[in-house]
Amino acid sequence: MVRLPRDVENAFEEIHIQKVWNILEEKFSFNIKGWKEDFTKYLASQSRQISERQAFIEFGLKKIQPILNGILKRTDYHPTWINLMRWVVKSK
C-alpha cells in the first residue's frame, strides 16, 4: 500500500478522482474513456480490501505517472502524480 503525504491522505476523496480525470483529459489530451476502462480492469484485479480511492492512487503511480514524467521531461521518480492530487485537493 502506498503511503501518501499527510495533506493528500487526509483530503483526497473519491470525488477528487473525477477531477483528476478531467485534468488529464483537458491538459494532457488523455483518452479518458480508454484510461477509465484500464482503471476498471485494474480495480477488479485488486483485493476487496483495497478501496477505489487507494486503487486509483496506485494505478496513477504505476501507469500514469511515468507518462506524465515523460511528457514533462522529469526524472522517472518525480512525484508528479502525488503533486497532481495535492493540487486537485487544494484547488477550489
Q: What is the pLDDT of residues 51-63, one digit of tens each?
A: 899 999 999 999 9
Integer Cα distance of 3 and 19 in angstroms: 21
Q: Is residue 16 part of a domain?
A: yes
Prediction pTM value:
0.89
Integer Cα distance of 7 and 10 in angstroms: 5
**Is the distance from CB of 25 to CB of 32 less than 8 angstroms?**
yes
Q: Is residue 13 part of a domain?
A: yes
Overall residue count recorded for the chain in this entry: 92
Q: How many CB atoms lie within 10 A of CB 18?
A: 12
Reading the block at residue 35, the C-alpha cell is 484510461
Per-residue model confidence (pLDDT) at position 92: 65
pLDDT in tens, 1-52: 667 778 777 788 889 999 999 999 999 999 999 999 999 999 999 998 988 9
Report the domain count for the chain.
1
Integer Cα distance of 92 and 31 in angstroms: 25
Range of the domain at 31: 6-90
- Average pLDDT on 67-88 reads 94
Q: Is residue 1 part of a domain?
A: no
Q: Is residue 23 part of a domain?
A: yes
